[in-house]
Chains A and B, each alone.
Chain A
Amino acid sequence: MEIPYTVEVRPDTGIYNAKLGIWLFLASEVMLFGGLFSAYVLLRVGAEPGTWPHGWQNVALGTTNTIVLALSAITTLLAWVSCKVGQFGRFKFFHACTLLLAATFLCIKVVEYHEHLNNYEIYLTNGQIADGQMVENDPKHDYLIITGREVTDESALIDLRSQKYARETTFQIPRSEIKVMQNYGPWHNDYLALYFTLTGLHALHILAGSIVIGYLWGPGRKLWKTDPARFTNRVEVSGLFWHFVDLIWIFLFPVLYLT
């Protein structure tokens, strides 16, 4: 006996196996990200007043990435429609676009991560705090150079929304004047911990989705010749996953960038 309903739809449930499978999988993904979002809510609500960071993200890059993913959602849909109507050439074109957009997203993500990890908060012996991008940190020199500014109190670094255009300069800091220094990695505070964990997990999903779509676009496309219906189903199922990953970003973006 063959396994039934791998390609055709079961009449009383109205769905084929793989599509049901991916919906169930997405339900569990909702719970996975739900767990992380609930951590976000609990930690943010429980934070000491005035300690939750605002305006720490590059909103321009974030907005670009939102548009990139929205476009990829459209190309994914069109790729599936192309299969449905039997235009394989178009399928290849649209999914090539999807893959390019995914790569763009990931590259921008890397730039964003770099911006954070290269941003240092330096407590000086005179009580001041220097904060900015590391320009030079050569162990051979007894100073380092950053581009940023000095503040007298940590609270000035928490809400940066109103300080977007604060004047930044490039200056040297002698190593002897440094008390502690830490970059803005996930260890810096809960906000960044959440930021890196949530966006990192999301980026892994983008990567996984790209691999699946890349497979269908590359070596997997042989199936189109022998069994176009099954191939179209695969495109649909991977597309559902892709749309879900896009949707997660639609939640992540306001929660991490805009509030």
Chain B
Amino acid sequence: MDAATEQFPPSHGHEAHEPHGSHKAAHHDPGFWRGYIFSSDHKVIGIQYGMTALLFLLFGFFLMILMRWQIAHPGEPVPFLGPLLEKILGQPAAGGVISPELYNSFGAMHGTIMVFLGIVPLAFAAFGNYVVPLMIGAPDMAFPRVNMASYQAYFLGGVVMLVSFFIPGGAAQAGWTSYSPLATSIPTHGQLFWIIGMVLLITSSLLGAVNFIATIIQLRAPGMTWMRLPFFVWAQLVTAFILLLAFPPLEAAAIMQMMDNVAHTSFFLPTGLAVGGKLAGVSGGGSPLLWQHLFWFLGHPEVYVLILPAMGIVCEILATNTRKPIWGYKSLVYSVLAIGFLSFIVWAHHMYLTGMGTEISAFFQATTMIISIPSVIILTCLLISLWGASIRINTPMLFSLAFLPMFGIGGLTGLPLGFNASDVYLHDTYYVIAHFHYVVAPGTLFALFAGIYHWFPKITGRKMNEFWGRAHFWGSFIFMNLVFMPMFEQGIKGMLRRMANGGANYSAAVVPGAIDTLPGSIMQLHTWILWAAVALGIAQIPFIVNFFWSIRHGEKVGDNPWQATTLEWQAPTPPPHGNFAVPPRIYRGPYEYSVPGHDSDFTPQNEPEIAAPAMPKAPIPVH
């Protein structure tokens, strides 16, 4: 490999003669099944992950719209979709009305689908698969067949989750957190399906995590030292470690909950448990807190799985469009490592109200405050990177710029939740819902949209339409805020989450005279949120149309339309099997934009040093 790199031309042309050692498979057509369905090529798998995850996101969005209808209009049949729902789901949607049980199913599955089948597969698996090997100059992932198995396990997990809607009793109803003993007491096998689905998803992310770490450690091209890795790769590396180490305890918990379900053990069921006013007849001795600890031991690191890849994407796009090196690259790297480590010791800030004791609460309160420091450092570095730049505004950049304040709002509103005293009031209210949606929806999801617009030209050779991209951005930006901002207000006024009727039974209209009821103005917000959410859905139509239209009809572009420095843009478009025409060698850091004395305002990572000893010294051109 080394010998071949020496002849790598300093230009970015790729029509160069076929290098020796290039993969033979690039020459013959693998056919439809091997090429698109059972492919082990990281790019195809990345696209498979991406498309599947986008479909799940859309599905989760529809579940949410149905729930919002039910919250705003409790007991009224869903317009248009009601009869269809009844036809598909039968009794739980009798008369086109979403029953409280069905609401609970939708709630639990909305959370599960969005987190485990939507955002994580898109942020980590799809972008990671497509971009990481290209960025580090690797021909593929370290274990291509394991990679394929990872996607298949994910797909199967998704199918199991979907099937659970149609079994008698319906899908899981105990929230995406599946707290025991509630989860074991609801009379539906949906919970069992949930557990089996989760075990498949955990297997999938485990295989993916091993693969990513091994790829990044082993397959970096010559010259790609650790401090020359693009920040996105660092973010993915840390994410992979979190997935590798945080998911197994949830798997352990899932196995135990399955035993509780199937073998009637009492891991999470306390002595004397009564369900529906009757003794449950279990052997007892179990601990409901145990489930919560094991769940949140995954659950909190999981939120960093949701956010770190997004930060990585935003960082790449900011660097490209500010035409200037990222400010504080090393601080970013050390911060992301610190977050990865600290994310394992903050989990019980989700459990302040469980009575686990003030010392334990104090400990987790302290660690929670500490972990916000590296998060703020990352945000600050990204903000300062904008300083003094001549910013190029395009759709990916708009989404990335919006990410910064949106994540800022989400992160800052996390602080009152991290303090034990204020969380006692805010816990399980809509404030929490608003908090984490700000980080995940206008935060992570915006970054993912940015990534799609940004890397689309590499995948298809065409740009997405800029006008409709901006329409998508502004619609999403406005309506996203209109959906989530009012929830802070509702939460602060005391509205609890997970109520099928949107808290009507606590409203001043229903129980006049009672103290601390929810005023009409707060209940009114439900209607606003509903229509803002519908508008948010409509704002996605330009995206969907643009996406498919641009695959065929978008503006044709070359290998490096954004004039970016990182390696994926130096590969042919779309990259062939094996990725690079010539094995690349890396000579410089990831963000060499506007380097003084260089004749273009970007210097690709694989461009050799001008002062290479073999070359005669040429006078530096003056602009």
Contact = CB atoms under 8 A, between A and B. Distances in A.
Contacts of B433: none
B21 interface: yes
Given A34-B249, A43-B286, A193-B267, A28 B294 contact: no
Interface in B227-259: 244-253, 255-256, 259
Contact of A24 (B214, B294, B579, B583): B214
B285 A51 contact: yes
B213 A24 contact: yes
A21 B252 contact: no
B422 interface: no
Nearest to B142: A17
A17 B263 CA distance: 40
Interface string B559-602: 00000000000000000001110010000000000000000000
Contact of B265 (A27, A186, A201): A186
Interface in A96-150: none
A28 B255 contact: no
B615 to A, nearest CB: 26
A29 B251 CA distance: 10
A98 B206 CA distance: 28
A136 B214 CA distance: 57
A119 to B, nearest CB: 15
B505 interface: no
Given A2-B23, A197-B256, A20 B263 contact: no
A219 to B, nearest CB: 17
A171 interface: no
A186 B259 contact: yes
Given A13-B217, A21-B142, A36-B252, A28 B209 contact: yes
Interface in A13-67: 13, 15-18, 20-21, 24-25, 27-29, 31-36, 38-39, 42-43, 46-48, 51
A47 B246 CA distance: 27
Contacts of A201: 255
A10 B142 CA distance: 13
A155 interface: no
B542 interface: no
B249 A32 contact: yes
Nearest to B213: A24
Contacts of B271: 48
- Scoring B146, B266, B293 by chain A CB atoms within 10 A of each residue's CB, the highest score goes to B266
A89 B579 CA distance: 42
Contacts of B139: 1-4
Interface string A183-226: 00111111001001100010000000000000000000000000
Interface residues of A, number: 42
Contacts of A3: 138-140, 142, 144, 219
Contacts of B144: 3
A139 B210 CA distance: 53
A5 B218 contact: yes
B283 interface: yes
B22 to A, nearest CB: 6
A252 B250 CA distance: 20
Contacts of B246: 31
Contacts of A35: 248-253, 294, 297
B264 interface: yes
Nearest to B297: A35
A48 B459 CA distance: 61
B210 A39 contact: no
A21 B267 contact: no
A157 to B, nearest CB: 14
Contacts of B579: 1
Contact of B218 (A20, A36, A48): A20
A229 B247 CA distance: 34
Contact of A28 (B140, B247, B264): B247
Nearest to A10: B218
A32 B252 contact: yes
A17 B138 CA distance: 13
B143 A17 contact: yes
Contacts of A188: 283
Contact of B209 (A24, A42, A43): A24
B294 A39 contact: yes
B424 interface: no
B286 A190 contact: yes
Interface string B260-299: 0001111100010000000000010111011001100100
B580 to A, nearest CB: 6
- Scoring B140, B213, B251, B252 by chain A CB atoms within 10 A of each residue's CB, the highest score goes to B252
Contacts of A47: 285
Given A5-B218, A20-B218, A187 B248 contact: no
B1 interface: yes
Contact of B578 (A1, A13, A36, A39): A1
Given A24-B210, A31-B245, A35-B251, A186 B263 contact: yes
A17 B248 contact: no
Given A1-B22, A25-B210, A187 B283 contact: yes
B462 to A, nearest CB: 26
Contacts of B583: 1
Given A1-B578, A43-B286, A187 B265 contact: yes
A43 B263 contact: no
Given A42-B290, A197-B259, A31 B218 contact: no
Contacts of B247: 28, 31
B287 A42 contact: yes
Contacts of A2: 21, 23, 139
Nearest to B291: A39
- Scoring A17, A28, A36 by chain B CB atoms within 10 A of each residue's CB, the highest score goes to A28
A10 B251 CA distance: 33
Contacts of B259: 186, 193, 196-197
Contact of A20 (B22, B217, B285): B217
A197 B286 CA distance: 14
A31 B253 CA distance: 12
Contact of A43 (B23, B140, B287): B287
A16 B217 CA distance: 10
Contacts of B252: 32-36, 39
B294 A27 contact: no
Interface string B284-321: 01110110011001000000000000000000000000
Interface in B173-230: 206, 209-211, 213-214, 217-219
Contact of B266 (A28, A38, A193): A193
19 contacts: A1-B21, A1-B580, A3-B138, A3-B144, A21-B142, A25-B210, A29-B248, A34-B252, A36-B255, A42-B289, A43-B290, A48-B271, A48-B285, A51-B285, A190-B267, A193-B266, A197-B265, A197-B267, A201-B255
Given A3-B140, A4-B219, A17-B214, 8 more contacts: A3-B139, A5-B218, A15-B218, A28-B248, A31-B248, A32-B248, A43-B286, A190-B265
Interface of A: 1-5, 10, 13, 15-18, 20-21, 24-25, 27-29, 31-36, 38-39, 42-43, 46-48, 51, 185-190, 193, 196-197, 201
Interface of B: 1, 21-23, 138-140, 142-144, 146, 206, 209-211, 213-214, 217-219, 244-253, 255-256, 259, 263-267, 271, 283, 285-287, 289-290, 293-294, 297, 578-580, 583
